[in-house]
Amino acid sequence: MHQVSCWKRVYERRLRATKCKAGTFAIAGSSKCTPSPPGSFVDKTGSTSAKPCPAGTWSGKGAAACTNCEPGTISTVGSSACTQCPAGSIADRAGLSACTKCPPGSFANKKGSKECTKCPAGSVCTNGASEPTKCNAGTFAIAGSSKCTPSPPGSFVDKTGSTSAKPCPAGTWSGKGAAACTNCEPGTISTVGSSACTQCPAGSIADRAGLSACTKCPPGSFANKKGSKECTKCPAGSVCTNGASEPTKCKAGTFAIAGSSKCTPSPPGSFVDKTGSTSAKPCPAGTWSGKGAAACTNCEPGTISTVGSSACTQCPAGSIADRAGLSACTKCPPGSFANKKGSKECTKCPAGSVCTNGASEPTKCNAGTFAIAGSSKCTPSPPGSFVDKTGSTSAKPCPAGTWSGKGAAACTNCEPGTISTVGSSACTQCPAGSIADRAGLSACTKCPPGSFANKKGSKECTKCPAGSVCTNGASEPTKCKAGTFAIAGSSKCTPSPPGSFVDKTGSTSAKPCPAGTWSGKGAAACTNCEPGTISTVGSSACTQCPAGSIADRAGLSACTKCPPGSFANKKGSKECTKCPAGSVCTNGASEPTKCKAGTFAIAGSSKCTPSPPGSFVDKTGSTSAKPCPAGTWSGKGAAACTNCEPGTISTVGSSACTQCPAGSIADRAGLSACTKCPPGSFANKKGSKECTKCPAGYFSSTLNSIECTPSPAGYFINGVGSTSYNPCPVGTWSGLGSSACTACIPGSFSSSAGSSSCRRCSPGTFANFNGSSECKPCPPGRYSGHSGASLCELCNPGSWSRSGALSCRLCPKGHFSPAGSRHCIQCSGGTFADREGTASCTMCPPGSVAEEPGSTRCSLCQVGQYAPSPGSDKCFDCFPGYFTNKTGSSTCTACPPGTRSSIQRATECIQCNLENNLSYRSGMSICDECPEFAPTLTKYKCYDRVNTECSSKDGISKTCRYSVDLNVWSYGVAYADGPGRDFLFYTFSKTVDIKKFLLMAKSNARSSAENLNFRCLPSGKEKHFPTFRRYNNFECANAQAMEVTPKPYHKVIIMELAFFYKE
């Protein structure tokens, strides 16, 4: 129920007397007027008692009226002075009876305040606050706040008394109520204002704490998990592109070394047959490959290759590869040949020619020899036969009249006097009486009449000597008679015929002219034949020598064949011409024969000379051999020089090529000099075709290197073909022969370029990412107690550290710190820390306080004082009308009804005198009598006079408002809108539970005030009142309005009602 005032009803005795003036009174039987005591007043003459000053007013002695208390002060009923409102409460206008606590979010820090001050930003003010309380770190408050707001996730408040939270910087996070943001762990990141860190997606990393963005893994590395701290080097056999989350295996035909971003095609001459390969394999001998091959291809028949070939080489003429996939050519066996490069099979040597082992062309058999198909040697013609042409397939029998020995290019005519049959290996002498008068006869001829042959094997019949005659077939002459003569060969004596002579008379025979002479008929002497001609015995004329022979002087009987190395190309030649250079002339040559390519001849030669090794003859009829140019070579009898293979060289006139020494190369065929390998490359074998670039991690700085030198420790070479090395940058190191520098792992560093190792961070320092050039001191609030730290540990809550700390120090009593603090924070007023190393201060429980910052314990409030909420920094005195008799109280107890406490900080209440119909309520500071004319409901209970305010707008209806306690007002409206339409409607200033109502007054009306119906809204609860008393019970919960209507409908009277409610 609401609080009410009580008063004592005083009855007036009706006596004749002098009325007392205002400000004085007299009880019955008084002889003088008594001034009203302080705290009361007498406002009328003739008063019998003084009235207590209403609450909110005061008076001195003898007052005719009470004076309103000034704003900031209050008074209870009957006060002789106004009391200042305690700090934390106000009286905002004059004439108030109670101080109003400052609502949450405001404060009053002085006694006697007229208004509450809005709580400043950064502090909070609870209900009735006398001072703002600064918000602890981790919380903040806007102006007018009653509670500190924890910093929302993703923000922090690092100072007490903050007015707002700051967003966590990128790379950090916080939960609710954070005093500091926490760095994101390596592998995670955050944006500004994050409440949690996000793991880096696969393929990217955060390599140290406190990062705001993930870094993609560089080419050649990967990260296959979310939240990775470092990238993993791409494994050999796979490649990793920029930002790779998984290695990609290289396809067949390609390979990769560890840390690659691209697959390398297998170089020509090698292959990669599996996915994920780390290197290429050389193609086996007999196969080849181009760039990026998954398999090697067999060399076609007719071609070969060595190990690691990028192309197949045709077999040279004279050799073959008879199937695919061979590594070496096979020479054609004797009796066969291959006349083209790249032959698949050998061709049988044709008849008439021979083929030696590895022949590139058949060689025709010379005259005198022959060969059947498939021969490796020419067969000499057998005796009695001949082979007169080169390239013959068989021997011919010698014709009758000729003969031959073994290997004859021609048959030899049987000498005169001999004969032969077909195929004879020797000639037979003619019997006496017969002759073979010329070479090459197959039968002997009997000597004709006039001649004879007296020996076997006669070449000619001897003319019968002069003086003699010879019959047919005569073996001996018959002498002529003297006086006659007969020329030789006469069958009868006759004059000497031409070609003979008789130089003496009485000759017995005519003498033929000697060979080399001639005569006419009846000659006494014979004449010598001219040079170039000859004659046989008994010639009547001389005969010209055939081509190929000569008669070099007069009087010769036979021509002489031109000796080897000379020729005579006309009949009747007197001398042989020297065979010209480039040609040869055999015995009896009539024309020179040009030498074939591969051979030559000087002037006067009878045989062609094969070109010596290291030279060649490329034209027929050559007079000399030319030396092979530098870069080529030849064997004996070469028509052309062969280029030196790659890796070999030659000088002018070489018969063989020389391998290039190690450190140099010949990179193509036909070179005359080796090229020194340039710096950055090497050749470690003789006969190298190409220089190999120094691999990564190795170098050569000079020409002609046979090996590369590894880069020294602390240096690296990241490419092939290097001539020098580079120092590893700070933050990295390398060992001997390194192709890349290795970043110092977290917890280590290298401070100078060219380091061969990393040093561990000393205690109190750290390096939190790969490749550090120095260690940083641990920031305040963190520490590192060991060497090699990659992160500094956060100081535990309740401890702190300076920069570069090896350990954290505990906060002293009365102080606290969150995790990672650089200093300890004093506990604010109202909180305490009773031990070292406290993570947070504990709020003093209600009834106790910690008045000073940095308290180590709470003090109990004394009797008569209280601390209503946790975390109080001072105790409040109990207000008058309240008390507490225990230490450590959180509330004061209202004095029970019928008692009072008139002082602040009361420890007990004093009993009121209940004989005088005193007010019956709790929390009294003085014992009040019920005021005059106020209703009394029961003994010791009374209510204030009901306050009423009325107004009329149109003169027909009236609006009034009524309040019992100046708290809840009821608004009543009476409507007169025609017969049967009148009703009353009351609204309440707030929702209340109605207990009863008081009939204040009713106006004159044409109809009765009885028989009315009350309906409570919005519940709709109704109660019918046939008649009314002064107090009428009607309970209705959650009432907002009340409607009053007559039953049956008729005009209702105007009633003034005051409703009582339950608090």
Question: What b/e sequence results for 730-739 when a residue is b if at least 16 CB atoms lie within 10 Å of its CB, and e otherwise?
Answer: bbbbbbebbb
On whether the CB atoms of residues 815 and 854 are closer than 8 A, the answer is: yes
In 176-312, DSSP assigns E strands to 182-183, 188-189, 198-199, 204-205, 215-216, 221-222, 232-233, 238-239, 248-249, 254-255, 264-265, 270-271, 281-282, 287-288, 297-298, 303-304
In the three-class reduction of DSSP (H, G, I as helix; E, B as strand; rest coil), residue 916 is classed as helix
**What was the pLDDT predicted at 436?**
87
CB count within 10 Å of CB 589 equals 25
In 757-875, DSSP assigns E strands to 759-760, 765-766, 776-777, 782-783, 793-794, 799-800, 809-810, 815-816, 825-826, 831-832, 842-843, 848-849, 859-860, 865-866
**What was the pLDDT predicted at 841?**
92
Residues 1021-1041 have pLDDT tens digits of 888 877 766 556 778 888 777
Residues 382-421 have pLDDT tens digits of 999 999 999 999 999 999 999 999 999 999 998 988 999 9
On whether the CB atoms of residues 50 and 27 are closer than 8 A, the answer is: no
Query: What residues contact residue 509 under an 8 Å CB cut-off, 6+ apart?
Result: 463, 464, 465, 466, 467, 468, 477, 479, 480, 485, 486, 487, 488, 490
Integer Cα distance of 188 and 199 in angstroms? 4
CB count within 10 Å of CB 774 equals 12
User: 493 is written with which tokens?
Assistant: 């004596």
Helix residue ranges per DSSP H, 352-464: none
Mean pLDDT of all residues in 27-51:
81
Residues 166-217 have pLDDT tens digits of 899 999 999 999 989 999 999 999 998 899 999 999 999 999 999 999 999 9
User: 664 is written with which tokens?
Assistant: 């140099």
Integer Cα distance of 23 and 536 in angstroms? 213
Termini Cα distance of the chain: 5
Residue 8's pLDDT band (boundaries 50, 70, 90)?
Answer: very low
**What was the pLDDT predicted at 595?**
94
From the list 298, 360, 345, 352, the residue with the least C-alpha distance to 326 is 298
- Percent of the chain whose pLDDT exceeds 90: 58
> What does the DSSP 8-state code read for residue 1021?
-
Question: What b/e sequence results for 784-801 when a residue is b if at least 16 CB atoms lie within 10 Å of its CB, and e otherwise?
Answer: beeebbbbbbbbbbbbbb
At residue 641, does pLDDT exceed 90? yes
CA angle, corner 1059, sides to 1057 and 1063, nearest 5? 170
**What was the pLDDT predicted at 51?**
80
Residues 475-512 have pLDDT tens digits of 888 777 666 677 777 777 777 778 877 677 777 777 78
**What was the pLDDT predicted at 903?**
81
On whether the CB atoms of residues 567 and 584 are closer than 8 A, the answer is: no
Largest CA distance in the chain: 258
Long-range contacts from 842-851, C-beta under 8 angstroms, 24+ separation = 843/870, 843/871, 844/870, 844/871, 844/872, 845/870, 845/890, 846/870, 846/872, 846/890, 847/887, 847/888, 847/889, 847/890, 848/872, 848/888, 849/873, 849/874, 849/875
CB count within 10 Å of CB 781 equals 23
Which has the higher per-residue pLDDT, 225 or 961? Answer: 225
Residue with tokens 């000034």: 70
**What was the pLDDT predicted at 202?**
93
Query: What residues contact residue 822 under an 8 Å CB cut-off, 6+ apart?
Result: 779, 780, 781, 800, 801, 802
On whether the CB atoms of residues 472 and 452 are closer than 8 A, the answer is: no
In the three-class reduction of DSSP (H, G, I as helix; E, B as strand; rest coil), residue 914 is classed as helix
Q: Can you name the residues that pair with 172 across neighbouring β-strands?
A: 183
What are the backbone angles phi and psi of residue 915, rounded to the nearest 5°? Answer: -80, -15
Residues 698-731 have pLDDT tens digits of 999 999 999 999 999 999 998 999 999 999 999 9
Query: What residues contact residue 31 under an 8 Å CB cut-off, 6+ apart?
Result: none
Residue 499 vs residues 101, 316, 397, 439: alpha-carbon distances, Å: 188, 70, 39, 22
Domains recognised in the chain with CATH numbers: 695-810 (no CATH), 946-1062 (2.60.120)
The continuous run of DSSP H or E covering 734 comes out as none
At residue 1046, does pLDDT exceed 90? no
On whether the CB atoms of residues 331 and 319 are closer than 8 A, the answer is: yes
User: 387 is written with which tokens?
Assistant: 């082979």
Which has the higher per-residue pLDDT, 25 or 381? Answer: 381
On whether the CB atoms of residues 825 and 160 are closer than 8 A, the answer is: yes
CA angle, corner 6, sides to 926 and 895, nearest 5? 40
**What was the pLDDT predicted at 812?**
95
Give me the amino acid identity at 647. Answer: G
CB count within 10 Å of CB 272 equals 28
